[in-house]
Amino acid sequence: KALQKSGLSIDQIGAFEVNEAFAPVPMAWLKDIGADEKNLNPNGGAIALGHPLGGSGARILTTLLYHMRDNNIQYGLQTMCEGGG
C-alpha cells in the first residue's frame, strides 16, 4: 500500500529490507511483489544479523538506511510481518 501511495514503481526501489522472522518470508514476498532478488536484504536479514526482541523494526530501518547511504540509493522499502505484538 505504501509503495502504491508513493507513486513509485517497484523498479525505482534500490533496496528492500524484508523482516525474515522465518526463512520463507522473503522468498514469498519476492514471489508476490516481483522485486529483483539482488536488492533484497543486501546485507543479510534477521537470520544473519539478528532479530532483537522488540527492536526488529529499528534494526531493519537502520540497516536499510546505511546500505542506501553507502550505495547512493535514493529509495528503499522496509517491510514487517507483525502480528500486533
Q: Could you give the domains of the chain?
A: 2-79 (3.40.47.10)
Closest CA to 36 of 16, 17, 55, 21: 16
Kindly provide the residue ranges of all beta strands, DSSP E only, lying in 1-85, ordered along the sequence.
15-18, 76-79
**Residues paired with residue 18 on neighbouring β-strands, in sequence order:** 79
Q: What pLDDT shows up at residue 85?
A: 44
- Whole-model pTM: value is 0.74
Q: What pLDDT shows up at residue 83?
A: 59
| Least confident window among 15-24, 37-46, 53-62, 72-81 | 53-62
DSSP 39: G
Q: Which long-range contacts (CB under 8 A, 24 or more apart) does 28-35 make?
A: 29/79, 34/10, 35/10
6-51: pLDDT as tens digits: 999 999 999 999 988 788 889 999 999 899 999 999 988 887 877 7
